[in-house]
Structure 1
Amino acid sequence: MIRLDPVHVEAARQGDRAALDALVRAAERPVYNLAIRMLAHPADAEDATQEILIKIIANLGSLRDIEAAGGWAMRIACRHLVGARKSGRVESMRMSFTGFAADLEQGLSEPGASEPYDAETRLAIEEVKVGCTLAMLTCLSRDLRIAYLLGDVFELSDREAASVLEIAPAAYRQRLRRSRAAVTAFVKDTCGNVSAKAACRCEKRIAAAEEAGRISRSRSRFGLSPSGPTTVPGLRAQVRRLEEGRRAAALLRSNPDFSCDVAELVLQTIETNPIRPDGKL
């Protein structure tokens, strides 16, 4: 998931600033995409991404196999997000699947007849979907959440994911089964994108989300583009064509590839605290 050029790694360890810049920029996006799915809040994810990138750069000197730098960086990211990172704003709400389902049942309202085809409303619908699916994952413990993300969202193999999490493959498979069962049961009962029988629909949540300040039509919290979102009927058709057990993962994988501007902050930090030849700050 994180790909770091061994040539850049070795050059950065020798103090090459351009190589260091390249490593930070190569790791920034995948780290942020993992962080935002773990923490469900853009600002928390940006803070965590900055912390992780600095850890990666500060520990380059301890890396033994530069050919495996990407996997090593992923281990640092996962270790930080699971064990070291303080609770984020969404995590602090301590939601359970039962409580979240009850919350989603409140404030459902039908949009106007023309709204689902309006570009601004499509963006609002996507904003609701992204926020909801990210918040849903925080109902899982961090250990189960990271297992689900690596296996069903980022599609690492059991062996790859177990290596990243530094656990036995059998232990990883058990965590993935538990997290997958919980997420699948929740979306099957609750999410109208997955099940026609479920009451909740993203377009029905727009008014409540606006009232609660969770979305704003003038600005996307998640950096979404007005031209990016697909139509809700199109997404539902795609998801519902899949086998029931694969629908939850497809819904979560429909979220965009998020981006941030953390690299510049990290590089400024490194500028004031130069990296030594051994890879330490």
Structure 2
Amino acid sequence: MIIFYPLQVEAARQGSRAALDALIHAAKGPIFNVAMRMLAHREDAEDATQEILIKIITHLGDVRDVNLAGAWAFRVATRHLSETARLGRVEKMRMTFDDFAEDLHHDQGDAAHLGLTEIEHQLALKEVKVGCTLAMLVCLSRPLRMAYILGDIFEMTDTEASSVLEIPAGTYRQRLRRARSTVSGFMQKNCGIQSEQAQCRCDNRIAPALKKGRIAKGFTHLDGDQVGHRAPDVITQDVAVLEDVQRTVAIMRSNPQFAASVPSLVGQLLDQIS
């Protein structure tokens, strides 16, 4: 998931600022995408990404084999997110799947009266869909959540994922089975994309989400899209991708690659090192 070039790792260990910058650039995207799915909140994910990058930078000298530095860095990230990271704002809600189902069934409303333009409506629809899948993941315990993210969203093999998590393959497979069964069962019962019999429709979640400030008119907080930055047909295509999938895993995988910025503290740390 993280690709570090051995020569850059060696140079970074010798104090090269350019090499450190390159390693951070290579690591920040993969780390942030795992962090977003683990924490379901951009600011929390950015904070966790920053903490992980600092760990990687400060412990780079501990890597014995520079050819395996990328795998080591990804293990640092997954360990931090599974065991060390502070509870995020969504996690602190302590929401169970039953709580989430009740919220989905009772918090719906007609978006027709909101006066949204077509672009604003499509952006809001995309934000609701992505936010729902992220919140759903947070209903899982951290161990099950990470197993699901690695296995079903990032499509790692059992061997790869168990190596990353440093647990026996059998333990990993058990976690993945439990996570799959729970998520799939919930979506089949509640998600209108997954099942025509399910009551929840994303379009009916727009008005409540706007009212509660979970989303903002004309802006999608989760991946940075804004009105005027993307053509209407591109936004519509993104939404269509989410609407067309009919399997639980495909719905999860259809979320965007979340764009991250390198937090300022990392830059400050680099200044101290160099």
Q: State if a TM-score over 0.5 links the two structures.
A: yes
Amino acid at match of 1:269: L
Q: Against the structure 1 CA distance between its residues 41 and 237, is the aligned structure 2 distance closer, same or farther, given a 3 Å change threshold? A: closer
Q: How far is the alpha carbon of 1:158 from its aligned partner? A: 0.6
CA–CA distance in structure 2, aligned partners of residues 28 and 134 of structure 1: 19
Q: How far is the alpha carbon of 1:67 from its aligned partner? A: 0.9
**Within 5 Å, which residues of 2 pair with 1:26-175?**
26-112=26-112, 118-175=118-175
**Percent of aligned pairs sharing the same letter:** 52
Q: Is the 8 A contact 2:28 2:49 kept in 1?
A: yes
Q: Against the structure 1 CA distance between its residues 7 and 248, is the aligned structure 2 distance closer, same or farther, given a 3 Å change threshold? A: same
Amino acid at match of 2:135: A
Amino acid at match of 1:185: G
Q: Is the 8 A contact 1:40 1:131 kept in 2?
A: yes
Q: Is the 8 A contact 2:150 2:161 kept in 1?
A: yes
Q: Which moved more, 1:63-72 or 1:50-59?
A: 63-72
Match of 1:229 in 2: 235
1:132-169 Cα deviation digits (max 9, x unpaired): 11111110000000000000001111100000000011
CA–CA distance in structure 2, aligned partners of residues 110 and 29 of structure 1: 36
Q: Is the 8 A contact 2:125 2:239 kept in 1?
A: no
CA–CA distance in structure 1, aligned partners of residues 266 and 25 of structure 2: 10
Match of 1:15 in 2: 15
Q: Against the structure 1 CA distance between its residues 198 and 115, is the aligned structure 2 distance closer, same or farther, given a 3 Å change threshold? A: farther
Q: Which runs of 5+ in 1 are unaligned?
A: 241-246, 276-281
- TM-score of the two chains, using structure 1 as the length reference: 0.90
- TM-score of the two chains, using structure 2 as the length reference: 0.92
Match of 1:239 in 2: 245
CA–CA distance in structure 1, aligned partners of residues 44 and 113 of structure 2: 37
CA–CA distance in structure 2, aligned partners of residues 233 and 257 of structure 1: 14
- Figure out how many residues of one structure are paired with residues of the other and give that number: 268
Q: How far is the alpha carbon of 1:248 from its aligned partner? A: 1.1
Q: Against the structure 1 CA distance between its residues 17 and 86, is the aligned structure 2 distance closer, same or farther, given a 3 Å change threshold? A: same
Q: Is the 8 A contact 2:124 2:219 kept in 1?
A: no
CA–CA distance in structure 2, aligned partners of residues 12 and 137 of structure 1: 36
Q: How far is the alpha carbon of 1:236 from its aligned partner? A: 5.8
CA–CA distance in structure 2, aligned partners of residues 159 and 106 of structure 1: 42
CA–CA distance in structure 2, aligned partners of residues 159 and 200 of structure 1: 37
What is the RMSD of the two structures over their aligned residues, measured on CA atoms? 2.0
CA–CA distance in structure 2, aligned partners of residues 95 and 71 of structure 1: 32
Q: Which moved more, 1:187-196 or 1:39-48?
A: 187-196
CA–CA distance in structure 1, aligned partners of residues 136 and 226 of structure 2: 23
Q: Does 1:211 align with 2:211?
A: yes
Q: How far is the alpha carbon of 1:5 from its aligned partner? A: 1.2
